[in-house]
Each structure stands twice: as C-alpha cells, then as structure tokens.
Structure 1
Amino acid sequence: MGSVSQLAKRFREVLLDGLWIANTNFKDQLSDVTWKQAVERVGSLNTIAMLTFHIDYYIAGIINVLEGGPLEIRDQFSFDLPPVTSHEHWETLLNKLWTDSEKFAALLEQMPDSKMDEVFVDEKYGTYQRNIDGMIEHAYYHLGQITLIKKLLKR
C-alpha cells in the first residue's frame, strides 16, 4: 500500500471508522450527541458543535485545493459556526462532516505518491505530506477534546 493510501486510511480512522490510535473516532463519538448537548457550554471550552464545524472547515478547505482550487480558508473564520438551533441543523452539520471526510479520503487516494513531496499551495505551508499529516493530527487533537467534553456534560 502506497503512502497516499496509508494517509487516506489514517484519515478515515480518525474521522469515520477507526479504533487504532484513540480506540474511537469522530463518527463514533458524535453518534449519540444530541443537538442540545452539541451546543451546551462547559465553562470556557468550545462546544462540541463548534469543534465539529471547525474540523470540517479545514477538511472542506483542503478539499478545494485537492480539486484544483485556491486555499480560501482562514484561521480567523474557523469557528464561525452559525447557530445550531435544532436537531435538523445538528444533523446537517454532522452529515457535511461525514460527506466531506469521505470525499477528502477519496481525493487523497487518487493522488500519486509523488505528489506528497510537492509544495502545498505556497512554500510557507510546506508539502502535501506535511499538510495531510497535520490534518490527521489536528483531527485527533479535537477528537480528544470532544471526548472529554462529552464526559463533562454527563457529570
């Protein structure tokens, strides 16, 4: 299995179906979160809905680049979640994350391994490899936060 296939597998593990690193994944952790829990604040922490939006914001932004578009995402907008006011809004947010995650992995699988050493958009961002690895690590970081927030909400 090539490096791109391995990256796609690791990405799916953290978002959709894996148990290897954290013994859980986004889909598993978010499957039983109600919309009210998703928007409930625990102290000064971000809400589960905000973290869900945040991770999808970056996934969607990188998808745009993988499809040949520009890098349009900006850190300053990565938590600009419109209010989640119903079960339907929450489900829409989740479904976008699942769809974007699968699309991201599929686009990644289509790339040649040689692309991983190329510059990602601009030299200041490093290579495709660095950015894909960073996306996976970023997802695990926020998966940990979501897992802890869920535990705090149940207290």
Structure 2
Amino acid sequence: MTRSEFMATRLREVLLSGRWIAQTNIKEQIESISWQQANQRIQSLNTIALLTYHLNYYLDGILNVFEGGKLEIRDKFSFDMPAMTSETDWSNLVKEFLVNSEKFAMHVEKMEDALLDTPFVDEKYGTYLRNIEGVIEHSYYHLGQISLIKKLILEK
C-alpha cells in the first residue's frame, strides 16, 4: 500500500466508514439525526450542523486546491453557516459533506507519494502530507464533539 492509499484509508475511516479508533465515524453520526437535532444548541456548544458545515468548509477549500484552484478558504469564515431551516437544508449539507469526503479521499488516494512531501500551496502551510494529516486530526477532534453533543441531545 502506498502512503497516499494509506492516508486515503485513514480519511475514509474518520469521515465515512471506519470504526477502529472511535467505534464510529462522522457519516454514521450525522446521518442518524434530524435537522432539528442537528441544530439543537446545548449550552454554549456548537451545534452538530455547525460542526458539519465547518468540517465541510475545509474539505471543500482544500479540494479546490487539489483540483487546480487556489487556496481561498480562511479560518475566520469557517463557521459562517447559512441559516438552516428545514430537513432539506440539513440533507443537502450532509450530502455535500459526504460527496466532498469521498472526493477528498479519492484525490489523496491517487496522489503520487512524492507529492505528499512537497509544499502545500506555500511553504508556510507545510506539506501536502501535513495538511492531510491535519484534516484527519481535525476530523477526529470534531467527531468527538459531535458524538458527545448527540448523546446529550438524545438524553433529553
């Protein structure tokens, strides 16, 4: 297995289909709740919808680079989710997240291993590998939050 294939497997594990580290994945967590639950606020915590939007924001922005575009995302906009007022809004966000997750993993899987060690856009952003690892770590961090928030919502 190449390094790129290994990284793609790790991405799919946290985003789409794995159960090894957390006994769950983001797809499993977000597909099993309603839009009202996704938008339910528990004290000062982010909502599951907002965390899903946030994760998708980064996937979409990095995918743009993978597909030949520029790095146009900015941290300060990563939580600027439009109002979510229906099941359709939630369903569309979940669908976009899942499509972007698979596209992201497919791009990584097809990368030449040598690309992993090259600068991502600019040297100040580190290498492709560092950024892909960052997506994995960031996703596990928010998976933990999503899982806990979901438990709190379902206990009510």
TM-score range normalised by the length of the shorter chain: over 0.9
1:153 corresponds in structure 2 to 153
Deviation at residue 132 of structure 1 after TM alignment: 0.2
Partners of 1:39 and 1:29 in 2: how far apart? 14
1:17 corresponds in structure 2 to 17
Runs of at least 5 residues in structure 2 that lack an aligned partner in the other structure: none
1:100 corresponds in structure 2 to 100
Partners of 1:68 and 1:87 in 2: how far apart? 33
Give a deviation string over 1:16-54, Cα, whole Å, max 9, x none: 000011110011111211000111100111000000000
SS at match of 1:22: coil
Partners of 1:99 and 1:154 in 2: how far apart? 27
Partners of 2:33 and 2:8 in 1: how far apart? 26
Matched letter for residue 81 of structure 1: M
2:37 corresponds in structure 1 to 37
Percent identical among aligned pairs is 57
Root mean square deviation of aligned Cα: 0.6
1:112-151 aligned within 5 A: 112-151=112-151
Deviation at residue 154 of structure 1 after TM alignment: 2.0
Matched letter for residue 147 of structure 1: S
Partners of 1:27 and 1:140 in 2: how far apart? 12
TM-score normalized by the length of structure 1? 0.98
SS at match of 1:105: helix
Deviation at residue 110 of structure 1 after TM alignment: 1.5
SS at match of 1:154: helix
TM-score normalized by the length of structure 2? 0.98
Partners of 1:77 and 1:19 in 2: how far apart? 31
1:61 corresponds in structure 2 to 61
| Count of matched residue pairs | 155
Runs of 4+ in 1 over 6 A off after TM superposition: none
Runs of at least 5 residues in structure 1 that lack an aligned partner in the other structure: none
